[in-house]
Amino acid sequence: MKPEIAKLGHVALVTSDLNKSLFFFKEVIGLEETEEVNGVHYLRAYSDFQHHTLSLEAGEEGYVKHIGWRTKTANCVESFKEILEKHEVAFEEYPKGTTVGIGDSIRFKMPSGHTFELYYDVEKPKATNGNASVLKNQVYQSWRKGISPRRFDHVNIHTSTDVNASYEFLMDVLGFNMREYMRGDDGILAAWLSVTSLVHDVALLKKDTLPTPARLHHISYWLDDSQDILRAADILKENGLQFIGPGKHGATQAIYLYVIDPGSGCRVELFSGGYQIFEPDWEPIEWTLEERSSCNTYWGDTVQDKELNNLTIEVR
């Protein structure tokens, strides 16, 4: 049986200003800190069950070390090793605890240059310091501080490499389903892919003018309601942070708001609405170049005409 990825796990982020990033992610976005080990802060949203969905550590500049994915079973990690070998993709093995809270893992580079990490075992620590939710099916109290998103949702990555090789890799090797895509004159320019019923767990875009081949455009946290996005806008404004949105994407149909962490330069999308896919024979939705503006922004503050939108950080 082909191994499968269950879900997006976490992003390992390095920041050139740890204090600014910690304030941004913990007090403004409102993520909870599971623990800090050797200077690395492990953060998650109030209903993220796994140990962390974002790790934050100090470095000379803002970049992403890797993007983690949880497999469906422990055996899947072993099977992925065999498949990667068959495709002549080099990978490195890391024992349990190399990433705190994460079991045995492997890391490899996508054809796009992004480092992906695969693992199955995760710790699911309960909330400490009296911050546990009364609800048995939730980790922390909701709305405790800042914007307070429910959970990690997706990553949006860019590449200047031959993007088609990466779409094929995501689908044929890693088992992602293409849900929507934009066709340009020379092939697909952007695609939304998932292993879950979400429209995308990852969006991958082709951009010719990038400072390095593999970039991260944003990480995204989910809020339950579009009203929560308006509340988030007020909180960002109160903290003197510039943002793009609110608006609604055509692709994915989600309500969005984008803001950049002033410490790392990592963009965060606050995300709600949208639709889910349950059909096993889903036909990917095609958007044409002529439809590009409504694909990006169905209504609201546009994402494509601002210099801010071109900022990305490296994924090593």
Closest CA to 7 of 152, 203, 126: 152
| List of residues contacting Fe ion (CB under 5 A) | 156, 220, 269
In the complex, minimum distance from the CB of residue 223 to Fe ion, in angstroms, rounded to a whole number: 13
Element spanning 85, H or E? helix 74-86
In the complex, minimum distance from the CB of residue 2 to Fe ion, in angstroms, rounded to a whole number: 27
C-alpha to C-alpha distance for 197 and 303, rounded to whole angstroms: 25
228 or 269: CB nearest Fe ion:
269
- Give the residues across from 206 on adjacent strands: 159
152 or 167: CB nearest Fe ion:
152
148 or 220: CB nearest Fe ion:
220
Q: Cis omega (within 30 of 0) on the bond before 246? A: yes
139 or 254: CB nearest Fe ion:
254
DSSP state of 126: P
In the complex, minimum distance from the CB of residue 218 to Fe ion, in angstroms, rounded to a whole number: 6
Beta strands in 125-251 (DSSP E): 151-159, 177-184, 187-194, 202-206, 214-222, 243-248
Kindly give, in sequence order, each residue whose CB lies less than 8 Å from that of residue 166, ignoring residues fewer than 6 positions away. Answer: 110, 111, 112, 159, 204
Which residue matches tokens 């697909």?
A: 188
DSSP string, 245-279: EEEE-SGGGEEEEEEE-TTT--EEEEEEE--B---
In the complex, minimum distance from the CB of residue 269 to Fe ion, in angstroms, rounded to a whole number: 4
99 or 220: CB nearest Fe ion:
220
In the complex, minimum distance from the CB of residue 126 to Fe ion, in angstroms, rounded to a whole number: 30
- Give the residues across from 190 on adjacent strands: 182, 205
153 or 314: CB nearest Fe ion:
153
In the complex, minimum distance from the CB of residue 165 to Fe ion, in angstroms, rounded to a whole number: 22
220 or 297: CB nearest Fe ion:
220
Instruction: For residue 154, give both structure tokens.
Output: 């997706």
Residue 173 identity: V
In the complex, minimum distance from the CB of residue 116 to Fe ion, in angstroms, rounded to a whole number: 18
Helix (H, G, I), strand (E, B) or coil at 53: coil
71 or 156: CB nearest Fe ion:
156
Which residue matches tokens 């309500």?
A: 255
In the complex, minimum distance from the CB of residue 156 to Fe ion, in angstroms, rounded to a whole number: 4
Neighbours of 6 (CB within 10 A): 15
